[in-house]
Amino acid sequence: MQLDSVQILDLTRLLPGPYATQLLADAGADVIKVEDTETGDYARHMPPMTDREVGALFDSVNRGKRSVALDLKSEAGRTAFYRLVEDADVVFEGFRPGVADRLEIDYETLTEYNADLIYCSLSGYGQTGPYADRAGHDLNYVGVAGLLDMTRENESTPPQIPGYQISDFGGGLFAAFSIVGGLLSRELGTGGEYIDIAMTDVVASFSQALSYEALTGDDPRPGETALTGAVPWYDIYETADGRYVTFAALEEKFWTTFCEEVGREDLIDVHETDDPAELAAIREELAELFATRSRDEWLETLSDETVVGPVYTPAEALEHPQFEARGLVERPDDAPPRVGFPAAGPDAPDSDDESLPAHGEHTDELLASVGYDEAQRTALRDAGVIR
């Protein structure tokens, strides 16, 4: 899992693209943020701000990267970009469809400078289809995320993860996976390739538990399937302290263990009943039962075999001993804490570069590496082409 020899030109900003390239940077890739000469990545300025005086989002997903600031709307800026492309392995963009073509930095154009280039486009809806030109922040694609949020709708169910987070992180993760896959394919002799990723498609891919019924004439709704709240032994319950626990006893053995541990052996035989009245009665009894103790009291009382788990706040979750044991949360001395690379193994990434690139910090360094001397760089800077 080492990408030390891979160089990526990252034209994305905000969250999905930078999250993808942060994973790749953590794995050793040389990620170069290609920013405009004016504001750069908007996330630099979005509150809350860290003690490094940048937006917390930017701080979290741009560590260990380099930054070059180019005006790609100018011919001179594009020429500089083309020179960088010659030495790159990957170009990754997150513009609306058509923007890269207008800027003349599309895949077909760039392969004239690097035939083996892996080029990845990430957008809300992809490069084709009737929604292709919609803005990536158009929350209509959260409607697809509803396939994931088919939980029972009642007052005891806590808020779901916002659809935009599902699509942003899912899209970024799949982009990183696809880029690595493209690099592997190239190593196997297939040459460069173009990858088109729609965040909506990725979210739809997450719906495998519901897609069969939806594709074969049914229309699954909240509360109608075992995984969306239809059965009381797979649901979320409020506890005495206003917190929540999850209960996932789909298998009979877990249901039996739970009933025995709470002294309700009389309920063992009703597992898998499909009688609406019985299901409603069991749900009501479970709601009353879980409301008799606090969340933490239930965790202390029940064994792991009851498949009852806590619903934590973000702060509680990230401070949990499980994550501490996995080393997931990194707390460097010279940077704010962050969630690190989510995989372990003998060759897992262990990046210690917590530096953040200033806007255009590496412009001179990178342009010098592709043949621009100091006088040329000064001329470009004076013309507003670079920063």
Task: Give per-residue pLDDT as tens, 317-346.
Answer: 999 999 999 999 999 989 999 999 898 888
The pLDDT of residue 163 is: 52
Catalogue all structural domains in the chain, each as residue range(s) with its CATH number: 7-206+329-383 (3.40.50.10540), 235-319 (3.30.1540.10)
Range of lowest pLDDT (139-153, 250-264, 373-387):
139-153
Q: pTM of the prediction?
A: 0.89
Q: Give the integer Cα–Cα distance in Å for 60 and 354.
A: 10
Would you call 247 helix, strand, or coil by DSSP? strand
Q: Is the pLDDT of residue 148 over 60?
A: no
Would you call 194 helix, strand, or coil by DSSP? strand
The pLDDT of residue 247 is: 95
Average pLDDT over residues 128-156: 59
The string of pLDDT tens digits covering residues 227-248 is 878 899 999 999 999 999 999 9
Q: Give the integer Cα–Cα distance in Å for 376 and 370.
A: 12
Which candidate, 49, 60, 133, places its Cα nearest to that of 96?
133
Q: Is the pLDDT of residue 216 over 90?
A: yes
The pLDDT of residue 155 is: 45
Q: Is the pLDDT of residue 158 over 80?
A: no
Task: End-to-end CA distance of the chain: give it in Å, rounded.
Answer: 34
Confidence band for 224, pLDDT divided at 50, 70 and 90 = confident
**Residue percentage of the chain with pLDDT more than 70:** 92
8 Å CB contact between 32 and 67: yes
Which helix (H) or strand (E) covers residue 366, if one does? Answer: helix 363-369
Q: Is the pLDDT of residue 164 over 60?
A: no
Where do runs of H (alpha helix) occur along 104-226?
107-110, 142-145, 163-187, 199-205, 208-215
From 26, 30, 41, 168, active-site residue: 168
DSSP one-letter string for 92-103: EE-PPTTHHHHH
The pLDDT of residue 165 is: 72
The string of pLDDT tens digits covering residues 256-314 is 999 999 999 999 999 989 999 999 999 999 999 999 999 999 999 999 889 999 999 99
Q: Is the pLDDT of residue 141 over 60?
A: no
Known catalytic residue at 4 = no
Q: Give the integer Cα–Cα distance in Å for 101 and 81.
A: 14
| CA within 13 Å, CB half, 263 | 2
Confidence band for 140, pLDDT divided at 50, 70 and 90 = very low
The pLDDT of residue 209 is: 84
Task: Give the number of other Cβ atoms within 10 Å of residue 128's Cβ.
Answer: 10
The pLDDT of residue 227 is: 80
CA distances from 266 to 258, 262, 263, 271, 323 (A): 12, 11, 8, 11, 38
Average pLDDT over residues 167-189: 95
Q: Give the integer Cα–Cα distance in Å for 8 and 114.
A: 13
Confidence band for 137, pLDDT divided at 50, 70 and 90 = low
Average pLDDT over residues 149-170: 58
In the sheet with 66-69, reading across from the earlier edge strand, the strands are: 66-69, 30-35, 7-10, 90-93, 118-123, 193-198
The pLDDT of residue 136 is: 59
Averaged pLDDT score across all residues of the chain = 91
User: Tokens for 240?
Assistant: 């005495």
**16 prior amide bond cis, ω within 30:** no
Average pLDDT over residues 178-188: 97
Q: Give the integer Cα–Cα distance in Å for 212 and 219.
A: 10
Q: Give the integer Cα–Cα distance in Å for 208 and 227.
A: 11
Question: Residue 384: left if φ>0, alpha if ψ -120 to 50, beta else—which one?
Answer: left
Q: Give the integer Cα–Cα distance in Å for 248 and 308.
A: 7
Question: Crossing angle, helix 374-382 and helix 75-87, to 10 degrees?
Answer: 140
The pLDDT of residue 352 is: 80
Average pLDDT over residues 207-232: 86
Q: Is the pLDDT of residue 25 over 80?
A: yes
Q: Is the pLDDT of residue 139 over 60?
A: no
- Residue corresponding to tokens 């009381």: 232
The pLDDT of residue 145 is: 47
User: Tokens for 352?
Assistant: 């210690």
